[in-house]
Structure 1
């Protein structure tokens, strides 16, 4: 399944699915040219200090 989440809603979404399920999902960002880039969720969470 694929869903689109706004960046400002990502932390809320991750909170809802719980820490035990974070490794079960893949998160991609959309670059300005329309290409997709996989986001390292662990690094993202460290940046947010979650």
Structure 2
């Protein structure tokens, strides 16, 4: 009985660690995606400005 209780506590601890790792990975991915989105937005804005300059020439 004691062995089963120790195993359950150990597995619960491992599950918590896995969950924390998955949360950290998801947050990192979301942060990376937000940075990419901001970068592409800046690139699009720069491209639009360049097209406007060419249209005025």
Q: Could you state the TM-score of these two structures normalised by the residue count of structure 2?
A: 0.21
TM superposition score normalised by structure 1: 0.23
* Structure with a larger share of its residues in helix: 2
> Which entry has the higher C-alpha Rg, 1 or 2?
2
Higher strand share: 1
